[in-house]
Structure 1
Amino acid sequence: MDDRVRRALAITPSSSASARTVDITTIGAKTGRERRIEIWFYRVDDEIYLTTQPASRSWYANLLKNPQFTFHLKNSVRADLPATAEPVLDRDARRRVFEAIVADLDQPRHRAYISQPVQSVEEWMDGSPLVRVSFPPV
């Protein structure tokens, strides 16, 4: 993986909203058509994750049916990365990741984008999709 791409993926809780904003292109679970959306990504323990505030999400259903997708970096560097999504279902793993994400979102620099304080970890665990993203070796 290119060093510029590695740096773009190496976000921290102090990273800006634009640094963590990407697009993903999934394959529709029902239609089989490509679907591109904008989403934030998170980094916890050197792993990349996708999630959103608690709600049912089409992108998650798409990734459950078709876990291969494209992760589009679009800010500090532009790159279309082939990726695979793995749902995080284990309750302990979900808690660990959501604790880090909620703490990340409670940072002052995200106040303009996310209502503060962020919902509880329990609400995120019960109602938010969560996938770990992996990138195949090049």
Structure 2
Amino acid sequence: MSGETATALAQDRVIDITTTGRRTGSPSRIEIWFHRVDGRYYITGTPGRPRDWYANLVANPAFTFHLKVSATADLSATARAVTDQGERAKVFAGLLAPLREITSRPGHAPEFWIASSPLVEVTFP
């Protein structure tokens, strides 16, 4: 991994991901935030409705993680759905700490995130 890529992973937040459609098998690219917690990488969404990107990653965990802010790189990645409630609570505690402006909104308290937000851990081969 280049120094530029490592720096982007350490400081950026906005990326694109390309997943493989669970029904169509076609690639689908979206913009999303990623988070770092205890040296690991995660992707989540706000509490509530199901997300296609999450369903795609559960069905097809291999995807492309596109850096696009401080560096440009297309990284092969693998997603693991985080479903264990204890692990989710620990991850969301770290992930939401710097996002108090979001978690103070109605319906966005940490317990809602833990209960109903999509969450995947991202690893790079």
Query: TM-score, normalised to structure 1's length?
Result: 0.84
- Aligned pair partner of 2:115 in 113, 116, 126: 126
Aligned length: 122
Change (3 A) 1:71 1:4: same
5+ residue gaps, structure 2, are none
Give the drift of 1:99: 1.1
Once residues 81 and 68 of structure 1 are traced to their aligned partners in structure 2, the CA distance between those partners, rounded to angstroms, is: 11
- For residues 1-138 of structure 1, the aligned pairs below 5 Å read 1-11=1-11, 19-55=12-48, 56-106=50-100, 115=102, 117-118=104-105, 119-136=108-125
Instruction: Compute the RMSD of aligned alpha carbons.
Output: 1.2
In the TM superposition, residue 102 of structure 1 has moved relative to its aligned partner by 1.5
How far apart in 1 are the matches of 2:114 and 2:10?
24
Q: 4+ runs of 1 displaced by more than 3 Å?
A: none
Q: Percent identity?
A: 50
Runs (5+) with no aligned partner, structure 1: 12-18
1:28 Cα deviation after fit: 0.4
Give the aligned partner of residue 14 of structure 1: none
CA distance in 1, matches of 2:36, 2:70: 17
User: Are 2:42 and 2:121, in contact at CA under 8 Å, matched by a contact in 1?
Assistant: yes
User: What secondary structure is seen at the aligned counterpart in 1 of 2:90?
Assistant: helix
| In structure 1, distance between residues paired with 2:21 and 2:94 | 29
Deviations 1:34-58 (A, max 9, x none): 0000000000000000001013100
Hey, what's the Cα distance between the residues in 1 that align with 2:8 and 2:46? 23
